[in-house]
Amino acid sequence: MKQNNHQQALHYIVLGKDDSDNSYLILQYNLIQTSEAEVCWCYANQLITVGEVVRGKLQPSVEDPKVIGGDESPTSEHQADSLPTLLVEQ
């Protein structure tokens, strides 16, 4: 499936932060909720604050084929490496 690089920027509420790896727990924020709210862990391209509403695009991670190969199952370390990145607009 081809990735749409022109996706619209959305608003996200920062719910939490994991100081051990500087990842954030975010909630997609819509005034008119058309589907189930999406909550996910991600990294951000700049520092953001818990409680802040930010506008940006969530970019999926590109897993390095050298990290997980063959019959190897993903570990929590691999899962952390596969977090998406929130590209916060200025």
Q: What is the pLDDT of residues 17-30, one digit of tens each?
A: 999 999 999 999 87
Q: Considering the domain boundaries, does residue 55 fall inside one?
A: yes
- Report the alpha-carbon distance of residue 81 to residue 90 in Å, rounded: 25
Number of structural domains found in the chain: 1
Q: Considering the domain boundaries, does residue 3 fall inside one?
A: no
* Main-chain dihedrals φ then ψ at residue 77, nearest 5 degrees: -65, -45
Tens digit of each residue's pLDDT (9 = 90 or more) over 67-85: 434 444 444 444 556 899 9
Containing domain of residue 83, as a range? 10-88
Q: Considering the domain boundaries, does residue 2 fall inside one?
A: no
* Main-chain dihedrals φ then ψ at residue 37, nearest 5 degrees: -65, 140
State if pTM tops 0.85.
no
Tens digit of each residue's pLDDT (9 = 90 or more) over 30-50: 766 677 778 999 999 999 999
Q: Considering the domain boundaries, does residue 59 fall inside one?
A: yes
Residue 87 has pLDDT above 90, yes or no: yes
Q: Considering the domain boundaries, does residue 67 fall inside one?
A: yes
